[in-house]
Chain A
Amino acid sequence: MNSPSEARLEIEGLTFCYHSRQEPAIQDISFDLQPGEVMLLAGASGCGKTTLMRCINGLIPKIYRGSLEGQIRVYGRPVSEMSMAELSQSVGTLLQDPERQIVGSYVLNEVAFGLENLGLPRGEIMERVERTLDYLGIAHLRDREVFNISGGEKQKIALAGILVMEPRILLLDEPLASLDPASSSGALQLFRRLADDGISVLLVEHRVDEVLAIQPERVLYLEDGKAVYLGDPQGMLDVVDYRRVKLPARTVVRRARNAEPPPEFQPALPPPTQQPLIDFQKVGFRYRPELPETLRGVNLQVHPGDVIAVLGANGAGKTTLVKHALGLLKPTRGQVLLEGQDTRKLTVAQAAHTIGYVFQSPTQMLYAPTVEEELAFGPRNLAHPPEQIRADVSWAIRTVHLEPELKTPPLALSFGQQKRVSIAAVLAMRSRILMMDEPTAGQDYWNYRSFMDTILQMPGFEAILFITHDVDLAVIYANRILLIYNGQVAADGSPHAVLRDEEKLRACRVLPTSLLELNLELYPQTGRFLRAEALAQYVA
């Protein structure tokens, strides 16, 4: 390469404004990326992370139009002079959702896709595919159908499809979003190894706490499209607002010591009683007769006053379990009782009077012309009186901080906002039991903590259950932890009882976080699990 500098990627004064918008999405961004370096690109959603990536990989201006200023050079050559074929062999991009970028039906075909498009000879393609699969340790998946592999494996397949093109710069867009804790730790180790082998890695992620474990060389922190911080990770920990970005627990404790103590958090749930709301009796379930059981002999009772966090690996059966409570799935053996009634004898609509269930993906349910109508849909189906619907809709929208969007079409909102609309749509039904599948996916730290606080402090719910990969969410909010492994309940008990058993957690692909470790350490003094800010007063 005859570039004057060593840098693989140089960006100077980059500003981009989409045609459809007034404000630039990113403004005056400058940085460079060295060989073998991991750079963490952090910031809240809407900060311009995705736009910056699109500028580097050529989707801007090829697909997304707008006004672009400044310079982007790869190996000293401006990207504007490079063809897509050239660029994609230098810059590889792993998009946010592996599910939406895998186009092949089988692993081999998916990984070979890019090389097929480049028209390489068949023998060379096969050789490079084998080499890449070996490198990632997934050669055994070669002839598997992509549909039937786990979330973590899907991401490796998507990554293989990019690495096979031998890019020297790798862009990773929130690669941890859909992974269980063990898979995301594995993915991070892999990114580190790629960098150590000479690839330059630009990693976009708001789970800053976890990324710091692989010691990124530098951090670029964006706020509203502008670079707020560029430098080593240590420096960022002192600059970034710990209420906006999840930092390591000890850092938060250190910084919160001098700040105002957080407001007292008081969940508003009824006192526990013995009469169960939901009762799983030896429940077994299989999706098709020829498949193995997804749930295997689950016994479980949900009582009033429970705030349950359901933890476990991708594909452990968490969503399948929760769908049984509502009768969306009926057990193939055993039975599920909802307030004493067999769910086989209830319609889902009847069960919906008792249970509000927020699905994982908001795009699967949003349809109405305005957010207001979207929120009124559920309560109307349940035949609530109009005045009550108005009051509940207005409460629900305030809970998720979307009051200004009441008249906006939900489909015009960002993914994070849509997710909050989908939560509000279920809140407005005023169900007595609330169940949420990955409520924090794609959400800002500040936003999700805020709505979780509000929901838990709001009287009216008798029990709350949420599925999550975020162990800290369980630490802060749950009073009971359900650990699911391979279709069975591996552990069920108080947060302290379940989460202190590190060996069992690891066996279930759940990893302790810095907040959990600090809480376990301080447990003799606190007697319960607390958020990092609240722990500050217990640390000398």
Chain B
Amino acid sequence: MIVSFNYRNRHSLLERLDPRARWIFSLLVLFAITMFWDVRFLLFFLALTLGQYYLARLTWRETRRAWYFVFFIMTTMVVVNTIITSSGTIGAAMKGTHTVIFHQFTIPITGWIWELNLTVERLWFAVTQVTRILSISALFLVIPFTMDPRQYGATFRGMGLPDRLAYTLDLAFRFVPTLGRDFQLTLDAQRARGYEVEKVEGGLFTQIRKMAPLVVPVTMNAILSGEDYANAMDLRCFGLRKRTWIEKLTYHWRDYLWIGFGALLLIASVVLSLLGYGEFWVPSILLQ
């Protein structure tokens, strides 16, 4: 069974907008955010996207699992790419000279030497990165919770994608909660056989191998049910000719306003960055 995200109409301002306008706005703001590495600008965007989140009438309770996932990915990224190594940073942060911690490790057996040179610049870069990721997450997280699943396909079609791709994206979108549900079922089935995921230990590869009882059934189930769905869709003439979409979407003035607002933000961001604003910035007080 394909499960949809847990959608209920909250009668929020955001839901009254055309879903296409919301996608376009989100994409415009996304591009705008990527122009900046200056935390002062990014804080503006964070406030903006959290505002949208508030307008959507979402509560922490409903979205916390999605947020945990974001936090997990974000922490891994920031710790590995910025704190431990500097591969995820940009020029200015890499060249930082204000050292906070300096430590040299010798990696056992290989004898390689690895230097941890944690600078103020890198730490501040981590802060900037967190702000950026949180703004982008808040921007897109509202979509699955506040968009009617009936309209996914028609929305993608309305944004100019071909029929087949639009419907496939619709299915792909709903695949996420379906996978979550399947994972829970498999976890329960294996726990009933005495399997304890909490006790999986050992080296990285051993750990991965010990996850097989969860990963294999979930993956196989997805593949096998995919075959059934494909058959069912073929038997109902999917993809043979130009499709009708019974979900009708119509733009209203407020949708144009919303897209216009997004476009304005992007244009302003482009102009600012051409003028040289928005580069990586560290408060001077930290560099003394």
Contact = CB atoms under 8 A, between A and B. Distances in A.
Contact of A114 (B3, B149, B236): B236
Interface string A349-366: 100110111010101111
B238 interface: yes
Contacts of B245: 116
A203 interface: no
Interface stretch (A41-49, A121-129, A265-273, A499-507): A121-129
Contacts of B241: 85, 117-119
A328 B243 CA distance: 44
A84 B237 contact: yes
B271 interface: no
B217 A352 contact: no
A161 to B, nearest CB: 7
Contact of B244 (A63, A115, A348, A381): A115
A88 B190 CA distance: 41
Given A349-B195, A364-B217, A103 B235 contact: no
A181 B193 CA distance: 31
B228 A95 contact: yes
Given A101-B229, A105-B2, A85 B235 contact: no
Contacts of B152: 105
B231 interface: yes
Contact of B236 (A59, A117, A122, A359): A117
Given A113-B236, A117-B238, A366-B217, A97 B228 contact: yes
Q: How large is the interface on A (under 10, 10 to 19, 20 to 34, 35 or more residues)?
A: 35 or more
Given A115-B244, A122-B248, A365 B231 contact: no
B228 A117 contact: no
A386 B101 CA distance: 52
Which of B174, B182, B188, B229 has the largest count of A CB atoms less than 10 A from its CB?
Answer: B188
Given A84-B237, A95-B232, A323 B188 contact: yes
Contact of B234 (A84, A116, A326, A364): A84
Interface in B149-207: 149-150, 152, 171, 174, 182, 185-186, 188-196
B266 to A, nearest CB: 32
Contacts of B174: 105
B16 interface: no
Interface string B1-31: 1111000000000000000000000000000
A114 B167 CA distance: 13
Contacts of A363: 217, 220-221, 224
B239 interface: yes
B225 interface: yes
Q: Interface residues of B: mostly helix, strand, loop or mixed?
A: helix
Nearest to A377: B193
A108 B154 CA distance: 14
B73 interface: no
A105 to B, nearest CB: 4
B246 interface: yes
A106 interface: yes
B4 A105 contact: yes
B103 interface: no
Contact of A112 (B189, B194, B228, B246): B246
B237 A103 contact: no
Interface string A367-382: 1100000000110011
B231 A59 contact: yes
Given A116-B246, A363-B220, A365-B190, 8 more contacts: A102-B1, A113-B233, A117-B236, A119-B241, A122-B248, A349-B196, A356-B192, A366-B216
16 contacts: A99-B1, A101-B228, A101-B232, A102-B1, A103-B171, A103-B229, A113-B238, A116-B245, A117-B241, A119-B241, A121-B244, A145-B4, A161-B236, A359-B185, A367-B212, A381-B196
Closest 10 CB pairs of A and B: A381-B194, A101-B232, A367-B216, A114-B236, A100-B228, A378-B193, A365-B189, A348-B191, A105-B149, A99-B1
